[in-house]
Amino acid sequence: MKQVRPLTIVNGRLVLPDRVEQGAIRLVDGMIEAVGDIAPRDGDETVDARGKLIAPGLVDCGVFAVDKPAFHFGGITRAALMPDQSPVLDIASRINFIAKSGKPDLWVHPLAAATQNLEGRELAEIALMRDAGARAIATGRQWIADSGVMLRLLQYAAMLDMAVITHAEDASLVGGAVATAGEMATRLGLPSAPAEAEALAIARDIALGEMAGARLHFRQVTTAAGIELVARAKARGLKVTAGVSPAYFMLSDLAIADFRSFARLSPPLRSEKDRQAVIAGIAEGTIDLVTSSHDPRGAEDKRLPFADAAPGMAGAETLLSTTLTLVRDEVIDMARAFSLMAAEPARLLGLDAGKLEVGLAADIAIVDPDKPWIVEGKSMAASAGNTPFDGQPAQGRVVALYKGGVRIGE
Residue 251 lies in a domain: yes
* Closest C-alpha to 124, from 108, 141, 109, 136: 136
- Distance CA(114)–CA(128), nearest Å, equals 12
Per cent of the chain over pLDDT 70 is 100
- Distance CA(263)–CA(256), nearest Å, equals 6
Residue 22 lies in a domain: no
Average pLDDT over residues 63-92: 96
pLDDT digits (tens, 9 = 90+) for 120-175: 999 999 999 999 999 999 999 999 999 999 999 999 999 999 999 999 999 999 99
Q: Residue 267 carries which side chain, given as an amino acid letter? A: P
Q: How many CA atoms lie within 13 A of 369 on its CB side?
A: 21
Residue 164 lies in a domain: yes
CATH code of residue 125: 3.20.20.140
Residue 134 lies in a domain: yes
pLDDT over 70 (residue 235): yes
DSSP 359: T
Residue 239 lies in a domain: yes
Total domain count, the chain: 1
Average pLDDT score, the chain:
96
The pLDDT of residue 61 is 96
| CB proximity list for 357: less than 8 A, separation 6 or greater | 17, 32, 35
Q: Are 124 and 112 in contact (CB under 8 A)?
A: yes
Peptide bond connecting 104 to the previous residue in cis, omega within 30 degrees of 0:
yes
Q: How far is CA 116 from CA 63, 153, 331, 391, in A?
A: 20, 12, 41, 41
How sure is the predictor about 300, in pLDDT bands with cuts at 50, 70 and 90?
confident
How sure is the predictor about 410, in pLDDT bands with cuts at 50, 70 and 90?
low
Sign for the pseudo-dihedral over CA of 347, 134, 205, 58: positive
Angle between helices 196-212 and 224-235 (to 10 degrees): 20
pLDDT digits (tens, 9 = 90+) for 179-196: 999 999 999 999 999 999
**Span between the terminal Cα atoms of the chain, in Å:** 11
Q: How far is CA 265 from CA 64, 245, 260, 321, in A?
A: 13, 11, 11, 20
User: What is the chain's alpha carbon radius of gyration, rounded to the nearest angstrom?
Assistant: 21
- Residue numbers of the domain that contains 220: 57-352+388-394
Pairing of strands 53-56, 31-36: unpaired
* Closest C-alpha to 188, from 93, 99, 268, 115: 268
The pLDDT of residue 250 is 98
Residue 381 lies in a domain: no
Sign for the pseudo-dihedral over CA of 65, 69, 73, 75: positive
Residue 23 lies in a domain: no
Q: How many CA atoms lie within 13 A of 112 on its CB side?
A: 29
Which strands make up the sheet holding 216-218, listed edge to edge? 112-113, 137-138, 164-166, 216-218, 240-244, 289-290
The pLDDT of residue 380 is 85
- Distance CA(194)–CA(186), nearest Å, equals 12
- Distance CA(354)–CA(340), nearest Å, equals 10
- Distance CA(67)–CA(79), nearest Å, equals 10
* Closest C-alpha to 316, from 292, 339, 298: 292
- Torsional class of 117: left (φ above 0), alpha (ψ -120 to 50), beta (otherwise): left
pLDDT over 80 (residue 50): yes
How sure is the predictor about 78, in pLDDT bands with cuts at 50, 70 and 90?
very high
Q: Residue 63 carries which side chain, given as an amino acid letter? A: V
How sure is the predictor about 252, in pLDDT bands with cuts at 50, 70 and 90?
very high
Coarse DSSP helix, strand, coil percentages of the chain, rounded to the nearest 5 percent: 35, 25, 40
Specify which residues 45 forms β-bridges with.
7
Q: Residue 388 carries which side chain, given as an amino acid letter? A: P
Residue 35 lies in a domain: no
Q: Return the exposure string of 128-162: e unless at least 16 CB atoms fall within 10 Å of the residue's CB, then b.
A: ebbebbbbbbbbbbbbbeeeebbbbbbebbbebeb
How many residues are present in the chain? Answer: 410
Sign for the pseudo-dihedral over CA of 342, 344, 347, 348: negative
pLDDT digits (tens, 9 = 90+) for 255-294: 999 998 999 999 999 999 999 999 999 999 999 999 999 9
